[in-house]
Structures are given as structure tokens and as C-alpha cells.
Amino acid sequence: MDDILLVDKPKGLTSSRVVELMRKKLKVKAGHTGTLDPIATGLLIVLTGRRTKEASSFLTLNKSYEVKARLGMQTDTFDCDGKILQQNDVTITKEEVEEVLKGFRGEIWQVPPPFSAKKLAGHKAYELARKGVSVEVPPKKVSIYSLKLEEFQFPYFTFDCDVSSGFYVRSLVHDIGKKLSVGAMVVEVRRTGVGHYRVEQAKKLEEILS
């Protein structure tokens, strides 16, 4: 079985765990083409058999996301799964969020989250962060091709974005919170596209495993 499988990843599982479950069910070599955080749902592309050799060609594809974030709260992981570091009850308006978003469209420098799979001195950043080691991940140039505020109901806001490979949604939300001086964290994130592949084409993991 040499195939490209589009999976709608459920919340709570790591991408590696999804691949492991599929490998056991399908009894074939398999690998994914780009990690989704456990908190995230949506499109995970899994290659099987000889197609696993093509993984690198998928890593450079643009990604699309739907994101729900919360203002006034900052965590060590930049999402709601982390330890709360700061809380702020200053009210922010929709117009203020819109204004800040303008500054992120286009090419930007982005620092990946300390709790990420980014390699530092041969170790993944999250492995060091979990041990209490201070992690300083170098910034990387990334692109935001579109960024649209879809809904605002303080302290929550939702947005859609189309971004380059290597982009961290958690870092974007964290940086939006910094610009507004109140902090922000990801509450929900759904990957809706990778290149020309769409989540609407994907199968639920439970369908594949049944």
C-alpha cells in the first residue's frame, strides 16, 4: 500500500500517535508530513509504503488554519494546555485587535514556542523546556499570506490564516497578545489545508481505524 492518506486528526492525540495507530491497523510503513499539536484538529497528511520517501516535498507546502484565541491569559506553552504565567483583565476592543493584525500580514520574523519540536543542540525544544531548562529558540522568517478576523467576543476572538511552512500559530497568538500588552493564548486550532489538500477531503481517524 503506497498511498497519500488525508486524516482529520481528533483533539488530544499527538501526530505520532495517529501514525502509530494507523500503522498497526493498516499493517504498513507510515509517516506524517508535518506535526499538529495535540490540542489541534484537522488535516494531517499520512504517507504509506514507498510514498513515505516523499515526505520532504510536503513539508514546504503552505498551511491554512482556523484559530480561536483568548486575550488576557498567557501560558508557558502559548495554549490552554499550559501553565498560566499571567492574567490580565484589561478590556480590548475588536478595533484594537484588527489594528494589531495588520502588522502581522506579510513577511515577519517569528520565534517558535519553547514547547515545540524545534531542534536545539540535538534536542527538541519541548524536551528541554519540560526539564526546566531555559529555552531560547532563534527567530525564523515566515510569511502570512492572509489573516482575517472572523469573530470577536471579548476575551475570545477567532481568525483564519494562510501561512508559509514552518509557521507556528501559537507564536502568532502569543505575539498578538504581546502587542496588545494583555497576553493571549490559543484555545482551539484546526488545520484546514496543506497546499491544495483540504480537510473536507479527509477521513475521520475513527473511520480509518474501524
Cβ-contact 188, 67 below 8 angstroms: yes
Quote the CA–CA distance of 112 and 129 in Å, as a whole number: 13
What dihedral angle (degrees, nearest 10) is formed by the CA atoms of 92, 85, 41, 94? 0
Q: Return the closest-CA partner of residue 177 out of 101, 66, 81.
A: 101
Respond yes or no: is residue 37 known to be catalytic.
yes
Q: Please give the DSSP secondary-structure letter assigned to residue 105.
A: S
Phi, psi values for residue 111, rounded to 5° = -95, 120
Alpha helices (H) in the chain, listed in sequence order: 15-26, 55-59, 94-102, 125-130, 169-179, 205-209
Quote the CA–CA distance of 68 and 187 in Å, as a whole number: 5
Cβ-contact 114, 137 below 8 angstroms: yes
Choice among 37, 76, 79, 162 that is catalytic: 37
User: What residues are annotated to the active site?
Assistant: 37
